[in-house]
Chains A and B, each alone.
Chain A
Amino acid sequence: SQQGEEDPQALSIQEGENATMNCSYKTSINNLQWYRQNSGRGLVHLILIRSNEREKHSGRLRVTLDTSKKSSSLLITASRAADTASYFCASMDSSYKLIFGSGTRLLVRP
């Protein structure tokens, strides 16, 4: 898998359900960030978790980080149609560059 690869590539759920997206990375990191992108637009930062943190919350978002498995997950609770977007994880490597994955396309059906 590539650095910061997300799984699944696409996810379709009903409004109100929870959405879980996973991310794997290859090298050691300083932090891992999640971004959201609406179709053809810029990315919006959602949440940052540092390498010494295991879990972080922000509103309906919950992010976990397992550095032993080089993986992270993003949970969106009580999803809304407006959550429909692509979600990217980005790992900040030792040279402080962000390495993005291919993204998960989330569709929340009303």
Chain B
Amino acid sequence: ETGVTQTPRHLVMGMTNKKSLKCEQHLGHNAMYWYKQSAKKPLELMFVYSLEERVENNSVPSRFSPECPNSSHLFLHLHTLQPEDSALYLCASSQDHLAGSSYEQYFGPGTRLTVT
């Protein structure tokens, strides 16, 4: 257990559905991240939140909408996804995401998303 939980662990959705992924960290960290891991591709950073403010949006399509209501919770709202969006979505947290920080990230187990 890394102290980062994700729900659901598996999700199958149609292209017209709307669903949300949830991440919660119990580590008292100030920064949270969403990553996408597709088969045979490196882990791709999607969003970074620091102290509940979005500090990075890595050219992610608008069909992915993040939300960070507080420093412990992070959501990824999904709508009108495409089959190529099927992947493992990983949430991570770190102590900080500030200039001069060199902190490791703690990952959740991921949500395996399949878009049909």
Chain A residues engaging chain B, CB cutoff 8 angstroms: 2, 4, 30-31, 33, 35, 40-45, 48, 50, 88, 90, 92, 95-103
On chain A, the residues within 8 Å of B92 by CB distance are: 42-43
CA of A96 to CA of B97, assembled, Å: 7
- Among B14-22, B65-73, B74-82, B105-113, the stretch in contact with A: B105-113
User: B42, A40: Cβ atoms under 8 Å?
Assistant: no
Write out the residue numbers on chain A whose beta carbons fall within 8 Å of the beta carbon of B107.
Answer: 35, 42-44
CB-based contact B108/A42 at 8 Å: yes
Contact of B104 among A2, A42, A45, A100 (CB under 8 A): A45
Within the assembled complex, what's the spacing in Å between the Cα atoms of A4 and B41? 12
Q: Which chain A residues lie closer than 8 Å to B98 at the CB level?
A: 96
Please judge, given known A-B contacts A33-B104, A96-B97, whether A43 and B90 are in contact too, CB under 8 Å. Answer: yes
- Whether, in the assembled complex, B53 has its beta carbon less than 8 Å from a beta carbon of chain A, the answer is no
CA A36 to CA B113, docked complex, whole Å: 21
Q: How many chain B residues touch the partner (CB < 8 A)?
A: 26
Partner of A48, one of B40, B104, B109, B110: B104
Chain B's interface: helix, strand, loop or mixed, by majority? loop
* A93 to B77 CA separation, bound complex (whole angstroms): 28
* Per-residue contact bits, chain B 83-97, to A (CB 8 Å; 1 contact, 0 not): 000001010100001
Q: Is B115 located at the chain interface by the 8 A CB criterion?
A: no
* Shortest distance between the CB of A28 and any CB in chain B (Å): 14
Whether B102 contacts A50 by the Cβ 8 Å rule is yes
B102 touches A31 (CB 8 A): yes
Contact B43 A88 (CB under 8 A): yes
Interface residue? B45 (CB, 8 A): yes
Using A43-B107, A96-B97 as known contacts, list a sample of 14 further A-B pairs with CB atoms less than 8 Å apart, ordered by residue number in A: A31-B102, A40-B112, A41-B110, A42-B6, A42-B110, A43-B92, A43-B105, A48-B102, A50-B102, A90-B43, A92-B102, A97-B56, A101-B42, A102-B41
